[in-house]
Amino acid sequence: MALFGKMDNLDKGSNQEKEITDIEKVKVLIIGSGPAGYTAAIYAARANLSPVMYEGLQPGGQLTTTTEVENFPGYPTGITGPEMMEDLKKQAERFGTSVRWGLATKADLSQRPFKITIDDKKIIEAEAVIIATGATAKYLGLEDEAKYAGGGVSACATCDGFFYRGKDVAVVGGGDTAAEEALYLSALCNKVYLIVRRNELRASKVMQERVFKTKNVEILWEHQTQGLFGDGVVEGAVLVKKKGTPEEEEVKIKIDGFFLAIGHKPNSDIFSNYLELDNVGYIKTVPGSAKTNVPGVFACGDVQDPIYRQAVTAAGSGCMAAIDAERWLAEHAE
């Protein structure tokens, strides 16, 4: 599910396109919530920038689908993802952030003030923009993925692998991400099945060799996931081997965790006409900063981070974005 809408391609003369008269001017607009957006809001609000935040379709971001968070500093006994995001939201609001429900559907970053359309109904004119729209994990599209969300299905081994210590798990994918996830889990789990649709890995040779040398990783070549089963939580997976061939057969494996490692899609579509993106769609930022190629526009969190994708790194980049925005506004004050 994409969290932020794609840019409309209506013809200029289309009678479907109506002039928007509801326009609001703000100093700093934060698009998207989650650890990055809320942290940016806290810092921007404390700097008296009166930030306005639109949360998007998933207030709190991907972490709201995580049942237990034990690797974020400051929570020694752990906390649920939704609870932590609610804490961050309250902290942002405490310092004066205007947190609103709404979806950014269009963007015009060609000049200041930048114009962001919300729900195709309202235009926010902002002196500076902080983009924290995140990235959406790619799923196989199985009904069971939603059924067992938070009950054995995960798209982040680094986030959730700890809960499967000593257990059997499966990782879906054949690229570097899948190989990395499998290797990470192999140090925690009893056994790791790597479910690969083809008869070869797409991962780099170095990663392939590491996987092949890891004794408790078993590669299931030419297997595709058909479904999951279990009483409330994942207890196993139903696979199809050599689907569509005369040798096709159904295979069942017993697992406690099912990890998706087939990639993420950054929620950057509406900015693609203005910002530099990598070949996947992650927003490029100047190394060591949150600055994009458009002065006055900053990016933080998973929408610009293809490597770490952790709550704590997202929060750190949100801090960077707010400080960069504060300094940039001070330098360009009229």
Mapped onto helix, strand or coil, the DSSP state of residue 237 is strand
pTM of the predicted structure, to 2 decimals:
0.77
Residue 94 makes CB contacts below 8 A (sequence gap 6+) with none
Q: Count of domains in the chain?
A: 2
Q: Are strands 249-254 and 236-241 parallel, antiparallel or unpaired?
A: antiparallel
Q: Are strands 104-108 and 114-118 parallel, antiparallel or unpaired?
A: antiparallel
Per annotation, catalytic residue among 159, 168, 256, 324: 159
Domain hosting 34: range is 23-136+264-331
Same domain, 155 and 93: no
Q: What pLDDT does residue 66 have?
A: 63
Same domain, 130 and 161: no
Same domain, 272 and 130: yes
Name which of 232, 67, 258, 261 is nearest 164 in CA terms.
258
Same domain, 84 and 130: yes
CB 40 within 8 A of CB 66: no
Same domain, 114 and 63: yes
> DSSP code of 167?
S
Residue 250 and residue 145: Cα distance in Å, rounded? 19
> DSSP code of 306?
S
Same domain, 146 and 250: yes
Tell me the pLDDT tens digit for each residue of 48-92: 999 999 998 777 677 766 667 888 899 899 898 889 999 999 999
Q: HSE-up of 123 (CA within 13 Å, CB side)?
A: 13
Catalytic residue flag (residue 156) = yes
Same domain, 252 and 274: no
Same domain, 159 and 256: yes
Per annotation, catalytic residue among 156, 168, 189, 324: 156
Q: Going residue by residue through the chain, which has 334 residues, state the pLDDT in tens, using 9 for 90 and above.
A: 344 554 444 444 444 457 888 999 999 999 999 999 999 999 999 999 999 999 987 776 777 666 678 888 998 998 988 899 999 999 999 999 999 999 999 999 999 999 999 999 999 999 999 999 999 888 999 999 999 988 999 998 888 899 999 999 999 999 988 998 999 999 999 999 999 999 999 998 999 999 999 999 999 999 999 999 999 999 999 999 999 999 999 999 999 999 999 988 999 999 999 999 999 999 999 999 999 999 999 999 999 999 888 899 999 999 999 999 999 999 998 6
Same domain, 131 and 235: no
Same domain, 170 and 122: no
Catalytic residue flag (residue 159) = yes
Same domain, 110 and 173: no
Catalytic residue flag (residue 160) = yes
Per annotation, catalytic residue among 144, 160, 256, 305: 160
Residue 235 and residue 294: Cα distance in Å, rounded? 49
End-to-end CA distance of the chain: 41
Any domain includes 224? yes
Residue ending a domain, among 260, 287, 310, is 260
Structure tokens at 302: 């998973």
Any domain includes 161? yes
Residue ending a domain, among 260, 291, 311, is 260
Task: Look up the CATH number of the domain holding residue 218.
Answer: 3.50.50.60
Tell me the pLDDT tens digit for each residue of 165-186: 999 999 999 998 899 899 999 9
Structure tokens at 61: 């971001």
Residue ending a domain, among 260, 286, 307, is 260
DSSP string, 124-191: EEEEEEEE---EEE-----HHHHHTBTTTEES-HHHHGGGGTTSEEEEE-SSHHHHHHHHHHHTTSSE
Same domain, 147 and 250: yes
Mapped onto helix, strand or coil, the DSSP state of residue 316 is helix
